[in-house]
Amino acid sequence: MKVRKHWLGLVAGVGLTAFGGLASAAPFGDEASVKLANDLWALMVDKNLAGDNAIITRPYKGMPPHGMILELLELPVTLDGVTGDLVVKRNYGGDGLSIDDVINDPNKYLQAVTIMLKRESGYDAENQDWFYVKYGPDGSILTNPKGAKLAGRVAKGMPTGCIACHKAAPGGDFVFNHDRYK
């Protein structure tokens, strides 16, 4: 789904730098990316995509780095008048974890919520304009070993991380489960 207007209104007062206006802007963990990630978490909780009242789907077997059991939800969302496709992956883990364990007590085994949000054209064209976030179960934005918040163009230009992995998805849309977002 195409984004209907620019995201600039979302971060009034933050400046254009975080949206790629200057090459020196950090690819992830910057103030604008963190603000967008926090606003997105609030929207996901409001729409029951995250939080204590999250919609439960049929979990399936996963693999690292996301988790041994996963849930996936996808839908277009509108944030501050801007619409983009959202992919939400709930990552579950624990010793001997089964799908039935997750169905019966998802909050006990939830380790992270990872998302991809399709941004406006030009946000990160070489990487299909995806915005990534890795949240803790409580909605806090998790950090990498250097303390950078995992929100934005996570690990852009690095040999491992969100973008490096998702570039390998078949179909060229950076999504492994299908090829709908070309």
Residue 128 in domain: yes
Residue 52 in domain: yes
Residue 119 in domain: yes
Of 45, 70, 68, the C-alpha closest to 58 is 70
pLDDT tens readout for residues 2-28: 333 333 233 333 333 333 333 346 788
Total domains, the chain: 1
Alpha carbon distance 22, 138 (integer Å): 33
pLDDT tens readout for residues 125-159: 887 888 989 999 999 999 999 999 999 887 777 76
Buried b (16+ CB within 10 A) or exposed e, 143-179: eeeeebbbbbbbbbeeeebbbeebeebeeebbbbeee
Residue 6 in domain: no
**Parent domain of 98:** 14-171
Residue 181 in domain: no
Residue 118 in domain: yes
What pTM value is reported for the model?
0.79
Amino acid 130 reads W
